[in-house]
Structure 1
């Protein structure tokens, strides 16, 4: 008698966690829609398409409305369930929000068509998850209670089983073991899944990152122990800091005692498409280490590692990466061994970076670190270093109640605070990310691009085909392009030929570039000089827009007489400790201040940093305005 194979569900993360981990969450909606129909027909258990950092990134970097993204993706995926990552009481932000905001956000997300909510808390504090879980249940959707897995002396099977029971009692329909740093070993996974299955009798889904190289092996052992669903990413955006490859897991599982219900051949067009799309994001494709066993030492999640690289690059301090990674476990121990997942990964990571970059531990602490020590993020899993806590918040005592109990209802007050928010969606954007939303709406980018707004998938498919095809350079002798003449001369070819060039080639005025050109089956290495023509109209438009924005920024800075390169010297002059953006100015010119008093807030690495008065005196000059970017060492203000 033929044995029935057990079905293992596959959740594809390519449109959310995969590019969040590998490409700093930069994938645009217009690059998702052309492949949506093919993905919808694969037979995935679900597609993770929203949540995590995507809400912030859409506004902050992509000039996209995150609600519009969810809307058009829901319309595009007609068969497959959509899934999101929700940070409990933090929603998609980096702090706790009032209960009425949590309720409204979940309700609105359900209205936009979300099916499965993976709810977690960075500290595994069940109190921070219960309101969001209840809101999901109230709206009739699937609640996936999440265990944030990490290692340390306080973490064992009993700890996780106890927390799993709390999740079940709070209404979880399934359990996710979220191994965000790739620390869960195959043997550890088998033991943990076995224990949870025996105690909870709920479906279990596995999530990991491939940074340590154990992901695929861990999945197999977890499945042997009874796991029901695994998270994977398309091979073009898998491995490294992303998830195990979908194709690999499908091939392995389908030939054994299991089945995924997915045909391997159907996945090929997806990987071909995403290979082309990935080239569009080379600027953010920064993680090149492949398997990094140092992750087992530093306990750093995939997304945190790629963001670390990006942020340190912005700080011109990438050479400090190893020092920052080594500092992470020390900060984590000081903070009571929190799992490193958003927002605790940002809190711990940014503090580790500050400790290294400033050359002194806890010389400067972000507002988020101070609030963590006050207990405003919840109950740390382990014991906090009280000496460090005192250094950060003095004699202030941390709270012991649920943090959200101290937050008054926000919705009605926010309507008065943001009168321009004429829809619930806008209001929620302002509440979650006030400054980011302000900048976003100021650019008049509320509406997504016409292609996204109209959801014209056919146009987007054609657009993707054109933009990913080779560019053709006309090298005829009568062309006005000096580039064409240069190519023809160097190749010593006859007139009127076409050369297929690499799609990654960039040609700038007055510079010399090496360029690979394929002609009649042969590849030629060219040096191109005195280019007077930008080849791609799209690149020309983007460069013009970039230059326009730069000019506008400089115009604002000029109007406010902000020095771009001046660096002050002296105890009464305060310079920016790092690159960032001026979030808020708290004092005025001529105002008296005391030593240690807050003067302004600098946003750097997505964290808020208070810049304090170094001495008693009067504010002589404030050389910045809110919303302006500053470089490390630029003068912020002076005191006399």
Structure 2
């Protein structure tokens, strides 16, 4: 990925680009199919996914390790290596900071070892978050990922409470800037964001990010995610997370098709090849049946 950002964190005028990150191979089926997509289900369509034009592809998260071992009888490390080898598009993996793939806490040396092994298997981006936005719990992940040669997408989790004001998220953004994150994401796992709240929150975060590219990772339970992406585009977010249409919406993310349409209507390019995307969605549609 060749990231160029303005000092305000928005896309350069001549680019007007909103890049898309594919979550079909991980978060989408985690949300809709209980993470039951097997590696053999993925491999036939990998070359066509490459042709779609995603910025990078999310292939790993905490539930992947659990389900592959307990229910699919697969080796998670083998899947990571295989997908990274077969895909030309950079691959991304998500961890829960100091908890890695679990809800326990691990020492810094274990976190560092995990980063080293992920990088050796071919991962290019490490996405990391702490569910309570305690950024001390992602420090070792960010540091070890950078030491292992990966870029870091640091997330802050969105929720509703008297505490979680725009000022609160500005402070969390500044903490992620101080950690030298390569990307900063707003993670809305329960679809609570509204376009109205995003109109005040997003420009404040973009200003606080100081040029670090912003991403939106929002699930679609409320049906508002696509509209929130429009607000993100308008206020200078650089990337959005989407899924192929058969694995989109509901508890998953908005469809790539929908966000591509909306971005184009706003005068932005996504770099998405719709013919390749149609082939990918057709494949997953048949798989779903």
- Residue 265 of structure 1 aligns with which residue? 275
Structure 1: state its 5+ residue gaps: 280-640
Residue 31 of structure 1 deviates from its aligned partner by 0.4
- Residue 189 of structure 1 aligns with which residue? 198
State the TM-score, normalizing by the size of structure 2.
0.93
State which of 24, 33, 49 in structure 2 corresponds to 1:39. 49
Are positions 1:167 and 2:144 aligned together?
Answer: no
State which of 25, 28, 32 in structure 2 corresponds to 1:18. 28
- Residue 151 of structure 1 aligns with which residue? 160
- Residue 144 of structure 2 aligns with which residue? 135
Structure 2: state its 5+ residue gaps: 1-12
Deviations 1:451-481 (A, max 9, x none): xxxxxxxxxxxxxxxxxxxxxxxxxxxxxxx
- Residue 128 of structure 2 aligns with which residue? 119
State which of 111, 116, 136 in structure 2 corresponds to 1:102. 111
SS of alignment partner, residue 93 of structure 1: coil
SS of alignment partner, residue 175 of structure 1: strand
Name whichever structure is richer in helix by fraction. 2
- Residue 207 of structure 1 aligns with which residue? 217
Partners of 1:88 and 1:5 lie apart in 2 by 33
SS of alignment partner, residue 131 of structure 1: helix
State which of 254, 259, 263 in structure 2 corresponds to 1:253. 263
State which of 62, 68, 77 in structure 2 corresponds to 1:58. 68
State the TM-score, normalizing by the size of structure 1.
0.43
SS of alignment partner, residue 53 of structure 1: helix
Residue 219 of structure 1 deviates from its aligned partner by 0.4
State which of 244, 251, 254 in structure 2 corresponds to 1:241. 251
Partners of 1:52 and 1:101 lie apart in 2 by 15
Say whether the 8 Å CA contact 2:64–2:76 is kept in structure 1: yes
Deviations 1:542-568 (A, max 9, x none): xxxxxxxxxxxxxxxxxxxxxxxxxxx
Deviations 1:281-337 (A, max 9, x none): xxxxxxxxxxxxxxxxxxxxxxxxxxxxxxxxxxxxxxxxxxxxxxxxxxxxxxxxx
SS of alignment partner, residue 20 of structure 1: helix
Residue 5 of structure 1 deviates from its aligned partner by 4.7
- Residue 371 of structure 1 aligns with which residue? none
Partners of 2:114 and 2:14 lie apart in 1 by 42
Partners of 2:209 and 2:141 lie apart in 1 by 21
Partners of 1:32 and 1:256 lie apart in 2 by 33
Q: Which runs of 4+ in 1 moved over 3 A?
A: none
Deviations 1:401-440 (A, max 9, x none): xxxxxxxxxxxxxxxxxxxxxxxxxxxxxxxxxxxxxxxx
Partners of 1:170 and 1:266 lie apart in 2 by 37
Residue 251 of structure 1 deviates from its aligned partner by 1.9
- Residue 82 of structure 1 aligns with which residue? 91
State which of 185, 195, 209 in structure 2 corresponds to 1:176. 185
Residue 4 of structure 1 deviates from its aligned partner by 3.5
SS of alignment partner, residue 221 of structure 2: helix
Superposition pairs of residues 311-350 of structure 1, within 5 angstroms: none
SS of alignment partner, residue 74 of structure 2: coil
Superposition pairs of residues 267-286 of structure 1, within 5 angstroms: 267-279=277-289
Residue 255 of structure 1 deviates from its aligned partner by 3.5
Say whether the 8 Å CA contact 2:244–2:255 is kept in structure 1: yes
State which of 231, 234, 238 in structure 2 corresponds to 1:228. 238
Partners of 1:81 and 1:48 lie apart in 2 by 9
Are positions 1:68 and 2:112 aligned together?
Answer: no
Structure exhibiting the larger radius of gyration computed from Cα positions: 1
Deviations 1:502-543 (A, max 9, x none): xxxxxxxxxxxxxxxxxxxxxxxxxxxxxxxxxxxxxxxxxx
Residue 137 of structure 1 deviates from its aligned partner by 1.1
C-alpha RMSD over aligned residues: 1.1
Partners of 2:199 and 2:146 lie apart in 1 by 30
SS of alignment partner, residue 210 of structure 1: coil
- Residue 3 of structure 2 aligns with which residue? none
- Residue 582 of structure 1 aligns with which residue? none
Partners of 2:104 and 2:132 lie apart in 1 by 13
Residue 178 of structure 1 deviates from its aligned partner by 0.2
Superposition pairs of residues 519-598 of structure 1, within 5 angstroms: none
Say whether the 8 Å CA contact 1:106–1:132 is kept in structure 2: yes
Residue 190 of structure 1 deviates from its aligned partner by 2.7
Deviations 1:55-86 (A, max 9, x none): 111101100000000011011102x1111111
